Amino acid sequence: MKIIHWIGIDDHADKWTIAHLKGQEQKPAHEFELKPDENGYRKLIAFAKNLGGEVRIVYEAGPCGYEMYRRLTKAELHCEVAAPSLTPNKPGQRVKTNRRDAVKLARYLRANELTFVVVPDGGRESLRDVVRARQAVQKDLVSIRHQIVKFLLRYGHRYREGKAWTTRFWRWLGTIKLEGEYGPIVLAEMKATHTERAARLARYDGEIEAAAKKPENAPYVAALCVLRGIGTLSAMTLLSELGDLRRFASAPQLMAAIGVVPAEHSTGDKTTRLSITKSGNAHVRHIVVEAAWHYQRRIANGPRITRRRKGQAQALRDIAHKCDLRLNRKFFRMTSRGKRSTVAAVAVGRELIGFIWAIGQLVHP
């Protein structure tokens, strides 16, 4: 009878804690620690290959990334990466150590109780890095803008002639003269920080635009852009975070993976619906909810959306037309019943994911 060896690894920046279960044995056959360096990889690979029989390895996704998965897979070892938020936990278990976590992973792997993440290839992970970096810079830019406005407000200055951060706003800002020795220095540093962050955001936007025009990405991005509220940046976020949507068997499965389905706590005859789970990809969830606001008002095909849909396949245009009618009607009906617009936007975003999934079945990276 073939023996399967189950190896659970508690992955940490300073050390790996490794537990090995042989077949159906309850106690670990081996427990040891390795340092996460070249020598540690050599020892781990040699240990796994010297066991004989089939070897299966698992560790949880975390800040250390997928380097271990790629190295073990390259060494022709079967390795999986578990989703930590979906790893079973016993409510009464109050003792947590690296050794216990490693044994727990090995046992759950043997019992088929783990949910695995799809590891992106190097190219898609690199694309995801630049998209996420752009989002981080956008947050930093908004932060420094808030700081400038609040700083000026403390000195009694407030812009009241229109929207902030326009050309007229910057012209007004240049006329501000603060009293005191250090106030002007602080304002000058804030303005310099804003200029630097805006320039960095522009550089990231240029890189993402260039990536969207590559032959392997352009058809997918163009197909997603037929949907209202989905532009180049949103499409590139979907591409980098989700990859090939054909791995989701149905649209509800994709909705659950992103965390926009309602939670539920039911017992006996009592059913309680809760807010959305928020257990999935936060970056994609943000994109689809922001896009959902485009369906709040009456649908009109302006020159921008017309240009996006021009030249696309009829099947894609049909999906986009159906999406326009359905989501606009849903937004209107929910707000007409007294639902808050923020709640309606989340519900519309959930259905928008269904149309994104449908496009992903026709066009894929």
pLDDT 10s digits, 219-251: 999 999 999 999 999 999 999 999 999 999 999
| Per-residue pLDDT, 1 | 65
Nearest-angstrom CA–CA distance, 193 and 188: 9
Same domain, 203 and 73: no
Same domain, 15 and 106: yes
Residue 261: inside a domain: yes
| Per-residue pLDDT, 50 | 94
Task: Output b/e per residue, 186-196; b: 16+ Cβ within 10 A.
Answer: ebeebeebbee
DSSP secondary structure of 245-313: GGGSSSHHHHHHHHT-SEEEEEETTEEEEEEE---S-HHHHHHHHHHHGGGSS-----HHHHHHHTTS-
| Per-residue pLDDT, 206 | 97
* Cβ burial, residue 234 (10 Å; 0-12/13-18/19+): buried
| Per-residue pLDDT, 311 | 92
Residue 128: inside a domain: yes
Return the SS3 of 57.
strand
* Continuous segment of H or E residues that includes residue 81: strand 78-82
Which tokens sit at 288? 């689809």
Nearest-angstrom CA–CA distance, 222 and 346: 24
Nearest-angstrom CA–CA distance, 143 and 164: 14
Dihedrals φ, ψ of 124, to 5°?
-70, -35
Same domain, 165 and 277: no
Same domain, 326 and 353: yes
Strand partners, 10: 17
Same domain, 330 and 246: yes
Range of the domain at 228: 219-362
Last residue in a domain, options 110, 133, 155:
110
How much is the CA Rg of the chain, to the nearest whole Å? 26
Last residue in a domain, options 81, 110, 139:
110
Residue 241: inside a domain: yes
- In this prediction the pTM is 0.89
Residue 203: inside a domain: yes
Positions in the chain short of pLDDT 50: none
Q: The domain spanning residue 52 has which CATH number?
A: 3.30.420.140
Same domain, 208 and 227: no
Last residue in a domain, options 184, 212, 240:
212
The count of domains in the chain is: 3
